[in-house]
Amino acid sequence: MSAIGEDMNSEYVLRARNWLIDRQNTDGGWGEHYISSFREDLAGIGYSTPIQTGWALEGLLSLPEPPIDCVKKGIKFLMDMQLPGGGWHTDVYSATGIEVYKNSNYDVWALMALGLYKKRYPQNEGDVNK
């Protein structure tokens, strides 16, 4: 949104930031049940997945002042869940409205979040190097 000139301190952006912070799971990740496409009360509630954690972290890292403690917990979740080969395993399914999927190609979102974090906070490089 900042790339197209939106004010990243506007009320709706801050509401979105707070929504993400409020939905972070105790394990540091984010998730959502696949039926949340049909039940708004389940939006942002569910077992943490690398994909949805990546999406949440990308949103938070795009802010002028990301909530660093929240971000670090998300990064730790991704690092703890990463497999020795570099990918992530999940038994949790997601959905796109009507299609339920489990797609390892979506690991790219977790990788992108780790890259954004490393680029933004090079002094914390040890957080993302294993």
Does residue 98 surpass a pLDDT of 70?
no
Backbone phi and psi for residue 81, each to the nearest 5 degrees, phi listed first? -90, -10
Angstrom distances, CA of residue 116 to CA of 25, 55, 60, 72, 104: 21, 11, 10, 12, 20
Give the model's pLDDT for residue 107: 80
pLDDT at 114: 94
pTM, two decimal places: 0.84
C-alpha span between 49 and 81 (Å, rounded): 9
**Beta strand residue intervals within 19-92, DSSP E:** 30-31, 48-49
pLDDT computed for residue 116 by the predictor: 93
Q: CA 18, 14, 36, 103 torsion: positive or negative?
A: negative
